[in-house]
Amino acid sequence: MKFVVFCTVCAAALCAGACGQKDGWKLVWEENFESETIDWNVWSKTERGTADWANTQSHDERCYGFRDGNLILRGIVNDDRQADTAAFLTGGLVTEGKKSFDFPGRLEVRARLQSATGAWPAIWLLPFDRNARWPKGGEVDIMERLNYDGFVYQTVHSNYTYTLGFKDDPANSGTIEIDRDGFNTYGVDIYRDSLVFHVNGVRNHAYPRLPELDSLGQFPYCQPMYLLIDMQLGGAWVGEVDPEDLPVEMEIDWVKYYTK
């Protein structure tokens, strides 16, 4: 079955498909890394896990750095497999347990992504409530980029899309072109009735809430969420890593959060 939804909030917020700063949005928090230090009251280093996205995450200092007031997250070849058995090491930061982002809200991250075979940088959101288990708690992927692609994916996951497999009604993912070698601004607007994704102020796609599907967990995103920004390497989706392409960097200029 197909659903056609007209989102009045989205139409008001996104005239002619543009998503620059609009009247009604107020900047309430910003992280610009100009001090070239990490605020540990807000951020933590990403922990190692068994999932493809997490199995190379590391606290190794070589995976973190600063340049010209920007945060650098790196993917590197692990040169000491006795100390750490992972073939590659990657850096990432999360606000889990420290800072949440609520709705209605707009989150934007300006970043530059180096290319490499097997590189999988990501900017995404997960529920701040630790009892909100994946996938029922939902996941919002503001940006995922693979290898040398000149475009990014912007996707949502939930019980409805993952467990039940409904990825087309409505479409849970969209792609949009980027400046492959330069900085781009990746963003999402979170409303009670929709998620609206954009890159460089250009609307990509919207994911609507369909109230008749609430019992199936179609739209769990109206809750506080935490932010993850991480370089990732390898996995079933992105494919094998070419060590000759490493190190590879993800450069973060700033993070901004707006509310209505």
pLDDT at 22: 61
Each domain of the chain, given as residue ranges in start order, spans 32-259
Count of alpha carbons within 13 angstroms of residue 93, beta-carbon side: 24
pLDDT value of position 12? 41
pLDDT of 143 reads 98
Query: Are 167 and 207 within 8 A, CB to CB?
Result: no
Predicted local confidence at residue 212, as pLDDT: 97
pLDDT digits (tens, 9 = 90+) for 196-249: 999 999 999 999 999 999 999 999 999 999 999 999 999 999 999 999 999 999
Instruction: Report the alpha-carbon angle 225-230-236, nearest 5.
Output: 105
- CA angle at 26 for the pair 29 and 153, rounded to the nearest 5°: 70
The residue written with tokens 């070698």 in the block is 181
CATH number of 32-259: 2.60.120.200
Tokens 């498909």 -> residue: 17
Tell me which residues of the chain have a pLDDT lower than 50.
1-20
Determine the pLDDT at residue 1. 39
Span 82-93, pLDDT tens digits:
999 999 999 999
pTM: 0.91
